[in-house]
Amino acid sequence: MKKDTTSDCGFTLIELIISIAIISVLLITGVYMLSTTLTLIKNEGGDTELLYQAQDAMEKLTSGQISDLNEYPKLLLLVNDAETMIFKDDSDNSFNIIGKYYIIKEQNTSKIIIRSFVPN
């Protein structure tokens, strides 16, 4: 005689554990994304205007609207290749910009990473 492992709600114990694990991963991912967004908004230790200037400069450089940073006197472009642009500001904070639009502030550093939703 086979032992019935189905609970009162119709799920087996293994199905219940898998469902809880999936929900946990989704919640952890959501909390991480929210905290990352709030970190960007809070922008501890950085100049928000400078971050937006770096993003704007990156977008204009990649689209060919500008060829240098003359209109951004506080920014210095250290690296400019197919995947990465690294900007340096006048207070030695580095901003690492990769792709477009998605901004993450790395914890305990002054680096800002901008990633595209579409792989480069």
The structural domain count of the chain equals 1
The rounded distance, in Å, linking the Cα atoms of 48 and 57 is: 14
Note whether residue 68 is domain-resident: yes
Note whether residue 73 is domain-resident: yes
**Residue range(s) defining the domain that contains residue 78:** 43-115
Any idea what the Cα angle at residue 35 is, between residues 29 and 40, rounded to 5°? 130
**pLDDT given for residue 61 in this prediction:** 78
Token couple for 23: 């929900």
Token couple for 49: 């205007």
**pLDDT given for residue 1 in this prediction:** 52
pLDDT band, residue 24 (cuts 50/70/90): very high
**pLDDT given for residue 104 in this prediction:** 43
Note whether residue 5 is domain-resident: no
Note whether residue 23 is domain-resident: no
Note the pLDDT tens digit of each residue in 48-60.
677 777 778 877 8
Note whether residue 56 is domain-resident: yes
Note whether residue 95 is domain-resident: yes
Over 90: is that where the pLDDT of 21 sits? yes
Asked if 58 and 82 count as a contact pair (C-beta separation under 8 A), the reply is no
C-beta neighbour count of 110 within 10 angstroms? 16
Note whether residue 25 is domain-resident: no
Arithmetic mean of pLDDT over the chain: 67
Note the pLDDT tens digit of each residue in 44-103.
445 567 777 777 887 787 778 888 888 887 777 776 665 566 677 655 555 555 443 334
Note whether residue 64 is domain-resident: yes
Return phi, psi of residue 119, to 5°. -55, 140
Return phi, psi of residue 93, to 5°. -90, 135
This prediction's pTM: 0.41
